[in-house]
């Protein structure tokens, strides 16, 4: 992924849903990489509020969460002067291209999406068509900007594969329409697991508050949640598929401190889970502290946030309209 100054910067894009306060899973699986890539790539990051309404939302809460997640993106250290940071619903090209991509997505391939299957079970009373066509909207987000890399957690890999299939299919019919995007999935942190059920992914929509660390939890709450994380009875710190709870905490610790699993095993040799969990909690608190401080500052200035969102939407729309126009022309729509 190295690139020299003389090359045109590769395009990086990723979005997050404003369906609550993001978790440590979102942070380690995605956000940390976003912040790390910002200087070297041509980056666009966004709040996926159109995706969020595939599940019922209270309007005032959706508005509040959208602004909060936008503030959190700035708090990661992303710079709206350098990166394009936008809210998806403020860039109409996303919905427009999504319709087109729907017509190039097969019913069978959309039916195979794990997230669709899971969400139709957890929201059985509202299996709407938007939930089904969600990946086509996600493909539109990515393809509109001709993104080269998409930094995401492992749970989004399948959607990225579908995006590539749609792009390949359309490029086969209408030459050179889309850049083929590649997922960028970090080694550690790609799949942060629930603290209470370590076989399950950590998720902000989990009804059990103890199962996840929210990015805005206080140090005390973080320490309590990590202390009560499910481990096992062996009381020895090492990485193993048979020890999902401890291995998950090791993954979190490794991401926050940069230490390898071997180094972590050596550090806690002869020590019990109490010492280990205290160290993990401290590392998480220190990792999140600057983000939380900047978040509070940004959230207090709503006018600035709205101004940044408006600027980001304008920049994003300017770029997105080029790809949309190209696609519409190639497909055969009359031009204005």
Task: Say whether 256 sits in a helix, a strand or coil.
Answer: helix
Selected catalytic residue, list 201, 225, 243, 277: 201
Rule CB under 6 A: is residue 138 a binding residue for ligand TYM?
A: yes
Determine the Cα–Cα distance for residues 182 and 54; give it in Å rounded to an integer.
25
State whether the Cα torsion 193-72-128-137 is positive or negative.
Answer: negative
* Region from 138-146, 171-179, 230-238, 272-280 binding ligand TYM, contact rule CB under 6 A: 138-146
Task: Say whether 199 sits in a helix, a strand or coil.
Answer: coil
State whether the Cα torsion 275-280-284-286 is positive or negative.
Answer: positive
Q: What tokens does 278 get?
A: 């205290």
Count the neighbouring beta carbons within 10 Å of the beta carbon of residue 190: 21
With contact defined as beta carbons under 8 Å apart, do 201 and 211 qualify? no
Residue in 10, 11, 12, 17 binding ligand TYM, rule: CB under 6 A: 17
User: Which residue's CB is nearer to ligand TYM, number 15 or number 291?
Assistant: 15
Residue 97's H or E segment, with its range, is: helix 93-102
User: Which residue's CB is nearer to ligand TYM, number 115 or number 171?
Assistant: 115
Q: Of 154-173, which residues contact ligand TYM (CB under 6 A)?
A: 155-156
Determine the Cα–Cα distance for residues 171 and 193; give it in Å rounded to an integer.
37
Site pattern 83..122 for ligand TYM (x: CB under 6 A): ----------------------------------------
Residue 201 among the catalytic residues: yes
Q: Which residues pair with 193 in a beta bridge?
A: 201
Selected catalytic residue, list 119, 225, 243, 277: 119
Residue in 12, 25, 76, 89 binding ligand TYM, rule: CB under 6 A: 25
With contact defined as beta carbons under 8 Å apart, do 25 and 153 qualify? yes
Residue in 68, 78, 113, 153 binding ligand TYM, rule: CB under 6 A: 153
Least distance CB 270 / ligand TYM (angstroms): 30
Residue 204 among the catalytic residues: yes
Rule CB under 6 A: is residue 192 a binding residue for ligand TYM?
A: yes
Site pattern 273..312 for ligand TYM (x: CB under 6 A): ----------------------------------------
Determine the Cα–Cα distance for residues 179 and 321; give it in Å rounded to an integer.
15
Residue 145 phi, psi dihedral angles, 5° rounding:
-105, 10
Residue in 87, 195, 202, 324 binding ligand TYM, rule: CB under 6 A: 202
Rule CB under 6 A: is residue 30 a binding residue for ligand TYM?
A: yes
Q: What is the largest CA-CA distance in the chain?
A: 73
**Catalytic residue IDs:** 119, 201, 204
Residues in touch with ligand TYM (CB under 6 A): 13-17, 25-26, 29-30, 48, 51, 138, 141-142, 150, 152-153, 155-156, 190-192, 201-202
């Amino acid at each position: 992924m190295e690139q020299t100054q003389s090359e045109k910067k590769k395009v990086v894009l990723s979005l997050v849903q404003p369906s609550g306060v993001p978790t440590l899973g979102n942070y380690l699986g995605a956000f940390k990489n976003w912040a790390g890539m910002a200087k070297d790539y041509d980056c666009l990051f966004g709040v996926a509020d159109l995706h969020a309404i595939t599940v019922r939302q209270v309007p005032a809460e959706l508005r509040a969460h959208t602004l909060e997640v936008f503030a959190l993106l700035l708090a990661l250290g992303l710079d709206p002067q350098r990166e394009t940071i936008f809210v998806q619903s403020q860039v109409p090209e996303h919905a427009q291209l999504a319709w087109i991509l729907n017509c190039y997505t097969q019913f069978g391939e959309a039916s195979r999406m794990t997230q669709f299957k899971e969400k139709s079970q957890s929201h059985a009373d509202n299996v709407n068509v938007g939930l089904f066509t969600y990946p086509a909207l996600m493909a539109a987000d990515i393809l509109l900007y001709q993104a080269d890399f998409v930094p995401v957690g492992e749970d989004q890999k399948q959607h990225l594969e579908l995006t590539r299939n749609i792009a390949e299919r359309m490029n086969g019919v209408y030459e050179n329409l889309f850049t083929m995007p590649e997922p960028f999935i970090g080694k550690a942190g790609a799949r942060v697991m629930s603290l209470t059920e370590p076989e399950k992914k950590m998720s902000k929509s989990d009804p059990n508050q103890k199962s996840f660390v929210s990015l805005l939890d206080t140090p005390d709450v973080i320490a309590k949640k990590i202390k009560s994380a499910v481990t096992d009875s062996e009381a020895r710190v090492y990485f193993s598929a048979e020890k999902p709870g401890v291995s998950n905490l090791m993954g979190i610790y490794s991401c926050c401190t940069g230490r390898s699993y071997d180094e972590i095993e050596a550090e806690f040799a002869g020590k019990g889970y109490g010492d280990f969990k205290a160290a993990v909690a401290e590392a998480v608190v220190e990792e999140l502290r600057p983000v939380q401080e900047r978040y509070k500052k940004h959230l207090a200035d709503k006018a600035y946030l709205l101004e940044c969102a408006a600027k980001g939407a304008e920049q994003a729309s300017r770029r997105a309209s080029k790809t949309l126009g190209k696609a519409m022309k190639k497909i055969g729509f009359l031009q204005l």
